[in-house]
A = this chain, B = another copy of it.
Amino acid sequence: MTHAEKPAARNTAPLRLGIAGLGTVGVGVLRLLEQNRDLVQARAGRAIEVVAVHARDRAKDRGVDLAPYAWAETMEDLASNPDVDLVVELVGGSDGPALSLAEAALERGKGVVTANKAMIAHHGHRLAKLSESGGGALRFEAAVAGGIPVISGLREGAAGNALERVYGILNGTSNYILSEMESSGADFAETLGDAQKLGYAEADPAFDIDGVDAAHKLAILSALSFGTQVDFDGVEIEGIRQVRAVDIARADALGYVVRLIGVADIDDNGNGGDAPRLLQRVRPCLIPKNHPLAPIDGATNAVVAEGNFAGRLMFQGAGAGEGPTASAVMADIVAVARGDRTPPFSVLADTLRAAERADSGARIARSYLRFSVADRPGVLAELTAAMRDADVSIESLIQDGESGEDGVLVAMVTHAGPVANVRRAIALLENSPSLTGQPLVMPILRS
């Protein structure tokens, strides 16, 4: 053996976990360990032991036996406990106790495995630096797309590629609602209500349906894909509240489905350059029916990464839920147990580049536009004149007899052109008395 490749001796001591947070995911992790213990330990090459747990309420019945685990009175105890090698943070929240715990653990050189997308989206860069200086792992497979191993797919599987674009269906609630609207023909409010009854949407659904959750995940995916610093604040976000049944029907007739998509792309595909321009957007899009994302319905998530050698890779699976999320958390625990110390964002945090935010208006795209207008002569002439004045070329236009809740609906699809022109056209019409409701613009995803 050449000296250079002599492997480190495998660590065979038990890996000792401290788990913070015993909600759905925390309980799922305990159940998984119980049910798959032999298998997981054989793969990890060592025992995996839960030595301490902490949650807000000790007395609550969670359906799992907590007797075998020491109870940590505070979350800080998990970080300072010398018997804990790895802290599993399942508390949630971008700041506050979760962040304090992660910092305390990493500062002590302990590893951290987390499902906390908000924390990584806001503080991932700093936490990665702490991880690399202290030597403890930081892993967050469960933070993006639930049970789908997309973080490791990008960090390991696509490691040979310059990635040009990463995008996908990153929020199960929104995808469930849009695909239900598609199959039932029902409108947004009604479908949301049903989704809430069925447990597919939270009582307060804003985080999901307004795109924030997807934006957290997208910011993490971009950083990993392009070697840039996580820039959650740079994500342009638009949710699905404005999408109507009629939009979905029109899209269908034109050969598209409507999905909430997070897309990130960079102008130098990560392969050099000091000031790359990064565009990150979450918004409802029209997806051609022959695109691999089109058949993804219900609460399923899917992520597409386009590499300069691999071509288009797609990962799909359950985006949330106890089992899938616990599976992702355990994948990270096993990786730590195996001694994996790949930097959290694939390259050393100090080398992550600060990307400029690209001007989304300069992008060339085809767009779908829908207007609610008064039912009187001249309105169509006014709309089309605004398009002409803003240099937007119309590919197709449908105005049918059907009247929406707030007027007659006019839908159009533009030829490819600068997004800024479409915005200008909308601005030209902004104060027109002919418009009886807020217009909706959705880009058409290029295949």
Stretch at the interface among A278-286, A329-337, A396-404: A329-337
Scan residues 21-74 of chain A and give those whose CB is less than 8 A from a CB of chain B: 28, 32, 35-36, 38-40, 42-45
Q: Which of B11, B152, B159, B161 has a CB less than 8 Å from the CB of A157?
A: B152
The reply to whether the CB of A97 lies closer than 8 angstroms to some CB of chain B is no
Stretch at the interface among A310-318, A359-367, A369-377, A427-435: A310-318
Give 1 or 0 for each of A143-183: 1 = CB within 8 Å of chain B CB. Answer: 00001110011001111111000000000000000000000
Stretch at the interface among A121-129, A242-250, A341-349: A341-349
**A14, chain B: closest CB distance, angstroms:** 8
Size of the chain A interface, CB-CB below 8 angstroms: 92
The reply to whether the CB of A326 lies closer than 8 angstroms to some CB of chain B is yes
The reply to whether the CB of A227 lies closer than 8 angstroms to some CB of chain B is yes
Q: Is the CB of A313 within 8 A of B148?
A: yes
Given A11-B5, A85-B5, A346-B43: A158 touches B331 (CB 8 Å cut-off): yes
Contacts of A309 in B (CB 8 A): 28, 32, 36, 147, 323-324, 326-327, 330
Q: Is the CB of A156 within 8 A of B335?
A: yes
Number of copies: 2
Stretch at the interface among A107-115, A213-221, A406-414: A107-115
Contacts of A160 in B (CB 8 A): 32, 36, 40, 326-331, 333-334
Q: Is the CB of B311 within 8 A of A324?
A: yes
Contacts of A2 in B (CB 8 A): 16, 82-85, 109-110
Q: Is the CB of B331 within 8 A of A8?
A: no
The reply to whether the CB of A238 lies closer than 8 angstroms to some CB of chain B is no
Q: Is the CB of B158 within 8 A of A327?
A: yes
**A63, chain B: closest CB distance, angstroms:** 16
The reply to whether the CB of A307 lies closer than 8 angstroms to some CB of chain B is yes
Q: Is the CB of A270 within 8 A of B310?
A: no
State the CA gap A339–B330 with chains docked (Å): 21
State the CA gap A240–B318 with chains docked (Å): 32
State the CA gap A35–B308 with chains docked (Å): 10
Q: Is the CB of A39 within 8 A of B82?
A: no
The reply to whether the CB of A89 lies closer than 8 angstroms to some CB of chain B is no
Contacts of A153 in B (CB 8 A): 149, 152-153, 157, 315
Q: Which of B43, B136, B326 has a CB less than 8 Å from the CB of A5?
A: B136
**A274, chain B: closest CB distance, angstroms:** 12
State the CA gap A250–B328 with chains docked (Å): 41
- CB within 8 Å of B: which residues of A? 1-2, 4-8, 10-11, 13-16, 28, 32, 35-36, 38-40, 42-45, 82-86, 108-111, 134-137, 141, 147-149, 152-153, 156-162, 227, 270-272, 292, 294-295, 307-318, 321, 323-324, 326-331, 333-336, 338-343, 346-348, 351
Can you report 29 A-B residue pairs in the complex whose CB atoms are below 8 A from each other? A1-B134, A1-B136, A4-B15, A5-B86, A7-B135, A7-B137, A8-B341, A35-B162, A35-B308, A38-B272, A39-B162, A43-B159, A147-B307, A149-B158, A153-B157, A157-B331, A159-B331, A159-B335, A160-B326, A160-B334, A161-B330, A295-B295, A307-B327, A313-B316, A314-B314, A316-B316, A338-B342, A339-B339, A340-B340
The 9 closest A-B pairs by CB, nearest first: A149-B157, A160-B330, A1-B109, A8-B8, A310-B327, A147-B310, A309-B327, A159-B334, A309-B323
